[in-house]
Amino acid sequence: MEYPKVCLRRGEEGGVLKGQRLIYDNELDWADDICTDGCVVDVLDSRQRFAARGFFNSNSRLAVRVLTRDEAEPIDRAFFARRIEAAWHTRQALGFSDSCRVVFGESDGLPGLTVDKFADCLSFQIACLGLEQWKPELISILAELFAPRGIYERDDLPVREKEGLPLIKTCVYGEVPEELVIREHDAHMLVSIANGQKTGHFLDQQENRGRLKPYAPGQNVLDLCCCTGGFSIHAALYGAKSVEAVDVSEDALALVRRNAALNGVEDVVTTTCANVFDLARQYVREGRQYGLVVCDPPAFAKSRKALENAYRGYKELNLQCMKLVRPGGYLVSCSCSQFMTPELFLKMLREAAQDAGRDARLLEPLIQSRDHPASLAGIANVIYGVVLMLVIFYMPKGLKDSLAKWIKALYQKLRKPARKEQV
């Protein structure tokens, strides 16, 4: 089959050849007159040789979303069926079954498509015009592969407007209940596919919530930006003495309380509705201390332009969190900002620890759950979420100052006799 063609500028071929699946409008030299927005195009290098095949949209900065680099591979229903089936088989091989991300966009060779599984229901999002035109086929493939109770379309992403697409929230297959219960490690969690965050629930931290097991027993826990209480509930189930879940959304906290009751830990988990920045500073002034602090804020840096301000926000919040950790306690610090690279995040944590007067040791550098694989081909998908667990040891400032003065005085005292003997 012949596809319309677009051509890369000289010197812009490297990204595609390295496996990047996103081609920006300023990387293109020309496009055929017959190219229409949403159509499949062949991408040529500057010497007119085939480089890739993907969806085209002249109205988007992401001019081409690459689907394949195999010139012999047509883009048809069978293509999407193969990709979705391969993605699901990968998750099954990793041990996921009840709830997980089934398709993760570019990382699964389907840029612009997200599919999440919650028990016996599916939720999906389409973020590009080209895929939108294949939506009936995609729904049909998902129905055949999973035989779900229902499939819900959560296409309320603002990015769709940049693609010229309407915002949609609706059940497109079967029946999706207003709420359902999923299993996450030792916890049961309520999920609202229609009204929850993203596609219904933050699955990217699913495996990391299970990592609390060695750190929670016997601790008083502060969970900042708790959302529906994933970390809070797990901490309580893993033996925490008390858990305070904090979020700015009262609706989220209402679900935390219901999740606590569902798991039989309502006597351990309390909720506080507040701005986490203000509350953290207040608790520092009050001299509060916790054995385990979890800090999992929303993405502060949603663009490169916002990175500088985001860095300051992360640093300030983590600085206060470190002051709230008792000696020998633990801090779980998270970032879901794709532009906040692991290196930059660690730099921020080092600076926060220095300014807080704390010595911090890195215990576990973690990334998003394995059902959210990170493509190594492009920065947009190179580890968008970093979870760091730190053990905080520090000496109270007053004691540190006193000890420093004592050591200085002792040093000077020991030096004086030697000086006298020389005279």
Lowest mean pLDDT among 57-66, 225-234, 241-250, 336-345: 336-345
Integer Cα distance of 245 and 384 in angstroms: 24
- Joined together, the tokens standing for residue 142 give 């998902």
Binning the chain into helix, strand and coil, the percentages to the nearest 5 are: 35, 30, 35
The arithmetic mean of pLDDT across residues 278-300, rounded, is 94
- Taking only the tens place, the pLDDT of each residue in 150-175 is 999 999 988 899 898 999 999 999 99
Distances (CA, A) of 341 to 14, 151, 304: 22, 34, 11
336 classed as catalytic: yes
- State yes or no: pLDDT of 198 exceeds 90: no
**Model confidence at 400: pLDDT above 60:** no
pTM: 0.86
* 133 has pLDDT over 60: yes
**CA 317/CA 224 separation, integer angstroms:** 10
Give percent of the chain with pLDDT exceeding 90.
Answer: 72
Q: How many residues does the chain have?
A: 423
Q: CATH topology for 5-68?
A: 2.30.130
pLDDT reported for residue 411 = 52
- pLDDT given for residue 414 in this prediction: 53
- Range from 44-53, 96-105, 241-250, 387-396 carrying the lowest mean pLDDT: 387-396
Least confident of 66-70, 240-244, 364-368, 378-382: 378-382
Question: Would you state the pLDDT for residue 170?
Answer: 97
User: Average pLDDT for residues 317-338, to the nearest whole number?
Assistant: 91
CB crowding 65-76: b at 16 or more within 10 Å, else e? bbbbbeeeeebe
Q: How far apart are CA 241 and CA 251, in angstroms?
A: 25
| pLDDT band at 304; cut points 50, 70, 90 | confident
Mean pLDDT of 358-373: 88
Thinking of the domain 202-399, which architecture would CATH place it in? 3-Layer(aba) Sandwich (3.40)
Domain 77-174: CATH superfamily, name plus number: RNA methyltransferase domain (HRMD) like (3.30.750.80)
Give the pLDDT confidence of 41-92 residue by residue, as tens digits: 999 999 999 999 999 999 999 999 999 999 999 999 999 999 999 999 999 9
Question: DSSP 3-state assignment of 153?
Answer: strand
Sorted by where each begins, the domain ranges of the chain are: 5-68, 77-174, 202-399
Mean pLDDT of the 128-144 span: 97
The distance of Cα 280 from the centroid of its chain, to the nearest Å, equals 23
Residues 6+ apart with CB under 8 A from 313: 297, 300
Q: Which of 7, 35, 225, 336 is catalytic?
A: 336
pLDDT at 381: 36
Distance between CA atoms of residues 253 and 269, nearest Å? 11
**CA 149/CA 182 separation, integer angstroms:** 14
Q: What is the pLDDT of residue 415?
A: 55
pLDDT tens per residue, range 100-112: 999 999 999 999 9
Mean pLDDT of 326-352: 88
Report residue 391 as tokens: 């053990």
pLDDT higher than threshold 60 for residue 421: no
